[in-house]
Amino acid sequence: MHQNAASRSRHAGSVSWIDGGAPADEEAHAVWHAIVECGLTALPEVAAHVAEALFRRDLAGGGAVAGIGMFAAFYEAHAYALLQSLNGTMICLGEAPPWAL
């Protein structure tokens, strides 16, 4: 199976944290944890870690009763969307910013 250019770019590249300390927002904190605390820098690894953290959060909050398990695959898409929304404000997608080198 061949990947198109959009899906290749979605899964390529690096991620760096550019906003300083840990954020108060729970989802942004999951991203911060993956990058800063766990030391992940590859976009697919960060997205997978964030997806897993958000899934486990929802599962622990009663998701098992609500059947949240059947939606586990959607958490990865949400993680990529979250990373994209934080790009330029809290994170840098792609090459590390010059001051981080």
Query: pLDDT tens-digit profile of 40-87?
Result: 999 999 999 999 999 888 877 765 555 566 677 799 999 999 999 999
Q: For 91, which DSSP code?
A: E
pLDDT at 77: 92
Domain-wise residue ranges, the chain: 12-93
Cross-strand partners of 92 = 16
Residue 22 binned pLDDT confidence (cut-offs 50, 70, 90): very high
Residue 68 CA neighbour count, 13 Å, CB half: 15
d(CA 35, CA 100): 13
